[in-house]
Structure 1
Amino acid sequence: MTTTSQVPPLFGRDRMVHGWFVVKGVSDAGDAAWTIALAWTAVQLASPAVAGLIVAAGTLPRAAVLLVGGAVADRYDVRRVLAGTTVARVLVLLVTVAVAVLAGESVALLAVAAIAFGLCDAIFEPAAVTLGRQLVREEDLSMYAGASQTAARLGTMTGAAVGGGLVALGGLTASATLNALTYLGVLGYLVLVLRLRFPLPRMSPTPMTRAIAEGFGHLRAAPTTRTLVITLSGLNLAVGPALGLGLVLRVRDAEWGAETLGVFQALVGLGALVGGAALIRWQPRRPAAVGFALLVVQGLAIVLLAIPGVFVTAASCATIGVTAGAASALLSAVFVRTVAPEFLGRLGSIQRLGDDCLMPAAMATFGAVAGGASVAVAFGIFGGLMTALMVVALTRSRVLSLDLVRSAA
């Protein structure tokens, strides 16, 4: 696929990049609607426990293939990788529709579809990490990350809003068909419109096991990059259980009702939208320091969820959302700017692996603490640990120097 050597326009006038945000945001909306349809159909066909396994079925395969995806991202043209996985997703959705229509919906069909999507994610996501660096100037990476996250949040919120009605009207097949159409839009844009401006060096052909090992070897040889990857790995291990399980338990115990839970989750989403959007215009001089400082605040907001009270909980949810949206945009830009270009895909997959592998254990631990002690204790422990770890990160000279890094060190 072709690239272009032209000087990119100012970020605010970069129609090619803005168009990518739009088609990707629409695709994220389709994904959100599909996820709701998958979960809803699973609940209708199986017990809650089996339904939970179906929804999470893609996690382990994704984790198993994620390192391969990183090596693929560093070896092959990113547009080819993204286009290929998009084609695979369309085929998965169309086959799901065909089987559902001809043979009916089943637990096996849902599980296979979830696993197939997880495998596609393992290849798509590391390649997507490298895309921003190949489209915009280095000084525009924070704005790119903020705008990208804003579009993704809008898409996800829109898809979640319409997903329930869509599955009620047309079932799994309607949601799968809609999502396939959104991916066709992504595919068309990748092939016809998107052009790389700053192509990264490609890894020479080598066995996958060796390529993956070289990624870990680079971590040993580059202390600044190693510090960054370790610090960023597993950042969601506190907020994920707090919002995904703890907030549900808090609402249930207080008897606030399911509608209140929806309001709290909406506050998180809106806060993240605001936080990501702020980075489109606001460019702090010390993005790494500001990003980790925001995560200190996020940890404290998780601790505050231990305090019963609907207004305190609402304020904490909004704070978690804003800090998550802003910090994620800042730190993802720092990561892309800091890591050596030829290792960006592999180290992106290594950094992501922490969440994928440890999240089930984090969820189980939060539940065990909440059941054995109380939900408030679980919030205090998880939020306190996150705050402490981020404070430690802010005391590390290598973390503070990341703002000035332009290549791996």
Structure 2
Amino acid sequence: MSAVTDPEEIVAPPPFRRDRLVHAWIGVKALSDAGDALWTIALAWTAVQVASPAVAGLIVAAGTVPRAVILLFGGVIADRADPRRIMLVFNVLRVGVLVAVALWVLATPPTVSVLLFAAIAFGVCDAFYEPSAGTIARQLVRAVDLPSYGAAAQTASRLGTMGGAAIGGFIVAHAGLAGSASVNALTFTLVVAFIAIWLRPRFRLTRAEKESALRGIARGFAHLAENPTTRTLVIALSGLNLAVGPAIGIGLALRAHAEGWGAQAVGLFEALLGLGAALGAISVAKWRPSHEARGGFRALVLQGAGIIALGIGPAWSVAVAAFVIGATAGYASVLLSATFSATVDTAYLGRMSSLTRLGDDCLMPLAMAGFGALASSTALWVPFALFGGAMMALMILPLSNRAFRSLSLRPAV
């Protein structure tokens, strides 16, 4: 298992550096991510204006429940139908939801029921859209170009999200929820137009056989049990944020509060994390290891050490650790996502993609609660040490696997 092969080629793609279609798709997707970030801020801000903090939290989180429930069904459809058409349909539905919300709040002030409808509808659309979108890279570029694609796409997505968040507050303050929904509807309309007119697959993925959705889900889990390489990648990608998420989401604020550093320190740490992630992702395009999976898992060992370092030391060492965590997260995510897309049986790629997304939806709340409970009942450094140490220990399994050590996405010589 030292190299991988491409699926059936429909149209020969150019080298990634000259692939204008893929470059344009990455840009359009980043614009959509900016719109999503803008919409998230608008939804949260409007929710706290019209409801209590508890209800506002329910509104913001409402989309995750249907997404977690439906995600596996979305994976089955992605493996059976045309992923491009699925992406097109559910982006059109997103535009419809946003236009409906904009028209409603223009006619009457926003209510809890309208906000819940919008959040749940978006969650349902995400559940069907994301597994299909997870297969699109495999249809556009050769396996050898997947790391470069991932580096550019993740960097553009992060920049789009940061840009959308930066202007989101300004737009909702001056144009309200209707203006924010309208802007996001425009970004999704551009995505719909690009998919419909220009986006065409270059590689034909194997399609799953037609069967009931529940049987398709069961077959996906059976495939996971029978393929240790795929299983390791799914576990790694689905759990990628479970150690670092609580350390960043809760831990940094707890440390800043305990040390008296203030909220501005948390903002600085978060900014360094984002900067590191962007640089880590784009660095793959310049300094790509010959064995991508091995490089990605080694980076996660370093990330585990960074998580431990967040819990000890002065502010400057925490800042360095935050940057290292971001850099290793961006670097490992690109390499492991590329390895995942290149090596998973394309008849199961949608279902495996849906499983990787379940970690954040289903397990992250438990990880957050566990981190907080440990911080409350023990010394503050303990949860950082346990979560970081657990990540480092878990990386022993893939790094001791000969298949991962020798796996390369570069063509065999």
Q: How much does 1:390 deviate? A: 1.5
Q: How much does 1:404 deviate? A: 6.8
Is the 1:227–1:399 contact (alpha carbons within 8 Å) kept by the matching residues of 2? no
SS of 2:209's partner is coil
Match of 1:359 among 360, 364, 383: 364
Q: State whether structure 2 residue 381 is matched by structure 1 residue 390.
A: no
Matches within 5 A, 1:74-93: 74-93=79-98
Question: 1:115 is matched with which residue?
Answer: 120
Question: 2:284 is matched with which residue?
Answer: 279
Q: State whether structure 2 residue 54 is matched by structure 1 residue 49.
A: yes
Q: State whether structure 2 residue 270 is matched by structure 1 residue 265.
A: yes
Match of 2:204 among 179, 199, 207: 199
CA distance in 2, matches of 1:257, 1:44: 26
Deviations for 1:207-239, whole angstroms, at most 9, x for unmatched residues? 111111111121222232223323333221111
Q: How much does 1:174 deviate? A: 1.5
Is the 2:9–2:204 contact (alpha carbons within 8 Å) kept by the matching residues of 1? no
Q: State whether structure 2 residue 385 is matched by structure 1 residue 380.
A: yes
The amino acid that maps onto 1:319 is V
Q: State whether structure 2 residue 349 is matched by structure 1 residue 344.
A: yes
Q: State whether structure 2 residue 151 is matched by structure 1 residue 141.
A: no
Q: How much does 1:392 deviate? A: 3.4
Q: State whether structure 2 residue 155 is matched by structure 1 residue 150.
A: yes
CA distance in 2, matches of 1:120, 1:375: 39
CA distance in 1, matches of 2:47, 2:17: 43
Question: How many equivalent pairs are there?
Answer: 404
Q: How much does 1:402 deviate? A: 4.1
Question: 2:314 is matched with which residue?
Answer: 309
CA distance in 1, matches of 2:74, 2:407: 26
Deviations for 1:298-328, whole angstroms, at most 9, x for unmatched residues? 1111111111422112111111111111100
Deviations for 1:180-231, whole angstroms, at most 9, x for unmatched residues? 1000010000011111100212223221111111111212222322233233
CA distance in 2, matches of 1:308, 1:167: 39
Match of 1:36 among 20, 41, 44: 41
Question: 1:95 is matched with which residue?
Answer: 100
Is the 1:134–1:200 contact (alpha carbons within 8 Å) kept by the matching residues of 2? yes
- Bigger Cα displacement from structure 2, 99-108 vs 389-398: 389-398
Question: 1:290 is matched with which residue?
Answer: 295
The amino acid that maps onto 1:390 is M
Match of 2:192 among 187, 195, 213: 187
Identical aligned residues as a percent: 54
SS of 2:395's partner is helix
CA distance in 1, matches of 2:16, 2:203: 15
SS of 1:285's partner is coil
Is the 1:227–1:398 contact (alpha carbons within 8 Å) kept by the matching residues of 2? no
- Bigger Cα displacement from structure 2, 328-337 vs 247-256: 247-256
- Bigger Cα displacement from structure 2, 352-361 vs 63-72: 352-361
Is the 2:342–2:409 contact (alpha carbons within 8 Å) kept by the matching residues of 1? no
The amino acid that maps onto 1:282 is W
Is the 1:126–1:348 contact (alpha carbons within 8 Å) kept by the matching residues of 2? yes
CA distance in 2, matches of 1:382, 1:189: 42
Gaps of 5+ in 1: none
Deviations for 1:262-294, whole angstroms, at most 9, x for unmatched residues? 222111111111111112233211111110110
Is the 2:131–2:353 contact (alpha carbons within 8 Å) kept by the matching residues of 1? yes
Is the 2:144–2:410 contact (alpha carbons within 8 Å) kept by the matching residues of 1? no
User: Aligned-residue CA RMSD in angstroms?
Assistant: 1.8
Is the 2:276–2:330 contact (alpha carbons within 8 Å) kept by the matching residues of 1? yes
Q: State whether structure 2 residue 137 is matched by structure 1 residue 132.
A: yes
CA distance in 2, matches of 1:225, 1:156: 29
How high is the TM-score relative to the length of structure 2? 0.94
Deviations for 1:373-404, whole angstroms, at most 9, x for unmatched residues? 24322211111111111233312334334447
CA distance in 2, matches of 1:19, 1:143: 15
Matches within 5 A, 1:327-342: 327-342=332-347
Is the 1:4–1:195 contact (alpha carbons within 8 Å) kept by the matching residues of 2? no
Is the 1:146–1:279 contact (alpha carbons within 8 Å) kept by the matching residues of 2? yes
SS of 1:284's partner is coil
The amino acid that maps onto 1:204 is E
CA distance in 1, matches of 2:227, 2:251: 38
Question: 1:241 is matched with which residue?
Answer: 246
Change (3 A) 1:233 1:398: farther
- Where does structure 1 differ by over 4 angstroms across 4 or more consecutive aligned residues? none
Change (3 A) 1:198 1:404: closer
Question: 2:24 is matched with which residue?
Answer: 19
Change (3 A) 1:260 1:164: farther
Question: 2:15 is matched with which residue?
Answer: 10
CA distance in 2, matches of 1:135, 1:155: 21
Question: 2:329 is matched with which residue?
Answer: 324
CA distance in 2, matches of 1:111, 1:280: 41
How high is the TM-score relative to the length of structure 1? 0.94
CA distance in 1, matches of 2:303, 2:108: 47
Is the 1:78–1:127 contact (alpha carbons within 8 Å) kept by the matching residues of 2? yes
